Amino acid sequence: MIRTESESFDPLDPELDVGNWIRDAYDWFTDTFQPVLDGIDSALSWAFDTLFDVLSGPPFLVMIAIFAVLGLIVRSWQFAVFTVLAFYLIAAMGQWDGAMQTLALILLAATIASSLAVPLGIWAAKSQTVSQIVRPVLDFMQTMPAMVYLIPTLFAFGIGVVPGMISTVIFAMPPGVRFTELAIRQVDSEVVEAGQAFGAPPGRILRQIQLPLALPTIMAGINQVIMLSLSMVVLAALVGSGGLGGEVVAGLNALSIPRGAEAGLAVVVLAIYLDRSVAALADRAPVVRASQVRE
């Protein structure tokens, strides 16, 4: 039933056009800040194109060697061997360009999300008021279906890689904020008090005491940000981001099991490589090394 303007609100038969209110507010936002949105679109498109050119420009064997060397440095020779075999499989399946496009999207989205999440998590750890404000917002961001984020970003930026990237950033941010806040709050208060007793200012305590001790947990949050970014690959393809997600969608539309399976396998390879690399960086934190030495 459609209620006319002359009818009063009946609490026994409620009808609120919340969706229309949100649409009107969003229309005002896009009309008012369209120049800002255009600048964001241009900057992110340029960053994505540049990173994709860097990843896809050299021959795939050169990039595989680079990935393997990075794996050797951060983890082990076994991981380097896995990297060579896994990325060579991606190239052999004809998914190399799509994988590099997806990797560029994930790296940019995860970098932006982490750059926003870590400072916000630190702020929430330092202020109980900020924490109480941020917590329900994060709950909302995590429980909202991921596909819903694509609707406003699509209208704001049009079809392309940018709406997929912005949606990925919003969807992937919450774990980074939560883990960072938790990590800072879990730092031993006696250690912080010792720094204060020596006259260290709050900024120095944060940089030289709290962040180093909290780094493993913060890196675990960044790892979750990357994994959630990868989970958005297919959905981001629905608004034109391409990459491996586009191959999965194309395989779904064509009911082609080989096409979808190959793209999905390439996504799994990227997920394993990024997960193990970030985890290895967390293990290199001074506090983790110190605990390993004591053991």
Summarize pLDDT for 174-220 with one digit per residue, the tens.
999 999 999 888 888 788 878 778 777 878 888 888 888 888 889 88
**HSE value, Cβ hemisphere, 13 Å, CA-based, for 268:** 9
- What are the structural domains of the chain? 19-57+93-294 (1.10.3720.10)
Residues in the chain: 295
Tell me what percent of the residues of the chain surpass a pLDDT of 70: 91
- Residue showing tokens 């990590």: 183
At residue 61, the pLDDT reads: 92
Q: What global pTM score does this model have?
A: 0.83
pLDDT, tens digit, 9 for 90 and up, residues 37-74: 788 888 988 998 999 899 988 898 999 999 999 999 98
Segment 142-153 shows an average pLDDT of: 80
pLDDT at 262 over 80: yes
At residue 32, the pLDDT reads: 80
Spatial separation of the C-alpha atoms in residues 170 and 147, rounded to whole Å: 11
At residue 70, the pLDDT reads: 92
Task: Confirm if 275 and 290 have CB atoms less than 8 A apart.
Answer: no
Q: Which two tokens stand for residue 18?
A: 């919340």
Q: What CA–CA distances, in Å, run from 65 to 1, 55, 247? A: 64, 12, 25
Q: Which two tokens stand for residue 190?
A: 């006696």
